[in-house]
Amino acid sequence: MNNYNYVYSFPECKADFERITNDESVSGVFRCTGINKDIINDDINCIKFLAYLHNLENEGTSSHLVTGCKYLNFWLYDELINKNKSIHKTSILYKEFMNVYDTLYSNDNEICKDHIEDINEEIYNKVKNLLELYNHFKNVPTSSTVGNCFNDNKCADLYNDFIKECAKINNRNFCDGLDKFREIYNERMIFLNTCENVQKYLPSYKSNNMAVTILIPIIIILAIPFILFFLHKYTTFPSQLLLKIKKNARIFDDQYENTENFLPMSQSFNRNSENSAWNIAYHTGTR
């Protein structure tokens, strides 16, 4: 999952998914006939997939469609692969379920095709981390009503732990997902929460990266004098460099002298050529 910014909508998508798939009429509408049992032998979750996808196709708005497909992608891994119900990739499971869906509706319009990608364990765990943040965020009080404020900074503590990883790992997408959560958290806490014992502002991981970016050239500048001193004191590098400069200077001087010696000869040759030309012209004119 290359874009973690959609994770903020997963709690809402999960609620929709459970509402749709828990409807008793679903099992009477959808049938998973023709499914390849070697790939997935789970008719119950196959029916849930078909019901949710059908709802997305018929009732989902364009924005909700993308987030719904992203959630469906995550659900395939979470429910079927992570729980050892299938050893196949999410993209293979999706295609198998879509084959069943197409036989039911004869529909070649794969609305989630561009939003399905294979998820590995690392990506799955990062999505789970973000979901944990949003689940705790639901419990953060939004007012200072008596009894509503309590010392619960679990949400902020989790964020501060996760953001440390942004300085260690090269995973810009996950860190951008954290930044999306930070924006939502800060907006809500600054304008709605007046509890004094709850952290109201979360820092961005980008500020940490900016500090590192500024420090690197400063460290290099400060280190240069020490490096030069070490080279001068304990190595032959300066003397070798000086010898090479002197050698190049001598070569340049020799080339310059050769050029100076060549110029008079060249000028003499030019004068002789001019005299010869005048002599030829004179003799020609006297005939």
Tokens of 87: 């050893």
Give the DSSP per-residue string, 18-55: HHHHT-TTHHHH---TT--TTT---HHHHHHHHHHHHH
Q: How far apart are CA 156 and CA 188, in angstroms?
A: 13
pLDDT above 90 covers a percentage of the chain that reads 38
Q: Could you tell me the pLDDT band of residue 236, with boundaries at 50, 70 and 90?
A: low
Q: How far apart are CA 149 and CA 131, in angstroms?
A: 23
For the stretch 161-180, pLDDT in tens is: 999 988 876 788 999 999 99
For the stretch 248-261, pLDDT in tens is: 656 655 554 555 55
pLDDT of residue 180: 94
Q: Could you tell me the pLDDT band of residue 127, with boundaries at 50, 70 and 90?
A: very high
- CB 74 within 8 Å of CB 129: no
pLDDT of residue 258: 53
User: Across the chain, how many H-helices and E-strands are there?
Assistant: 10, 0
Residues, the chain:
287
pLDDT of residue 286: 44
Q: Could you tell me the pLDDT band of residue 284, with boundaries at 50, 70 and 90?
A: very low
Sign of the dihedral through C-alpha 15, 18, 20, 23: negative
For the stretch 173-225, pLDDT in tens is: 999 999 999 999 999 888 776 677 778 899 999 865 443 433 334 444 555 66
Q: Which residues contact 273 (CB under 8 A, 6 or more apart)?
A: none
- Please give the model's pTM, rounded to 2 decimal places: 0.68
Q: What angle do CA 61, 64, 68 make, to 5 degrees?
A: 130
For residue 122, give the 3-state DSSP assignment: helix
Exposure class string for 52-80: b at 16+ Cβ within 10 A, else e: bbbbbbeebeeeebbbbbbbbbbbbbbbb
Q: How far apart are CA 182 and CA 164, in angstroms?
A: 14
Q: Could you tell me the pLDDT band of residue 79, with boundaries at 50, 70 and 90?
A: very high
Q: Could you tell me the pLDDT band of residue 247, with boundaries at 50, 70 and 90?
A: low
pLDDT of residue 22: 92
Q: Could you tell me the pLDDT band of residue 50, with boundaries at 50, 70 and 90?
A: very high
Q: How far apart are CA 72 and CA 78, in angstroms?
A: 10
Tokens of 9: 């909508």
Which of 5-19, 121-135, 261-275 shows the lowest per-residue confidence on average (mean pLDDT)?
A: 261-275
Exposure class string for 158-194: b at 16+ Cβ within 10 A, else e: bbeebbeebeeeeeeebbebbbbbbeebeeebeeebe
pLDDT of residue 139: 76
**Amino acid making up residue 7:** V
